[in-house]
Amino acid sequence: MSQNRQYELVYIVSPEASEQAVADLHTQVEQIIQRFNGVLDKTENWGKRKLAYEIGHAREGTYVIETITGTGELMKEIDRRLRVTDTVIRHMTVRVDEDIRIAERLRSERKATQARRRTARGLPPEPLASERRGDRDDNDSDDMGLEGPEVQR
């Protein structure tokens, strides 16, 4: 039995394709996902953008990014369908669940290190609101409270 994983699907639609054609393509992808019992987590239509290099006489295209949770069989079917669709000039699928898991682990390790260092200095493990710089969120502790050029060594 295949395991559900998280993927990012990026496809570039030909500049000659109308907005309706892009919407129809998105609907086709949604139907495939439903048929294979997957979940469409997020869709972003970036609109028309200039390509880094010319692809088959096209200098721009409509970029669409979708985050999908599903099996490898689902992604094989989407890949097969996008390959034979004439309006899609490029597509790429990347598995991102492993990267997300690694990033979360590193974030928790940094937070534990910060708490251990603060405790060793006689401070509470979590910084107080008055100790925070600017209007940062709790989730922005990736740099352990250090910011840009103000950091003294």
pTM of the model: 0.65
SS (H, E, C) 87-112: CEEEEEEEECHHHHHHHHHHHHHHHH
Topology of the domain covering 5-98: Alpha-Beta Plaits (3.30.70)
pLDDT in tens, 114-146: 888 888 888 888 887 787 776 555 554 444 444
Q: What is the pLDDT of residue 145?
A: 47
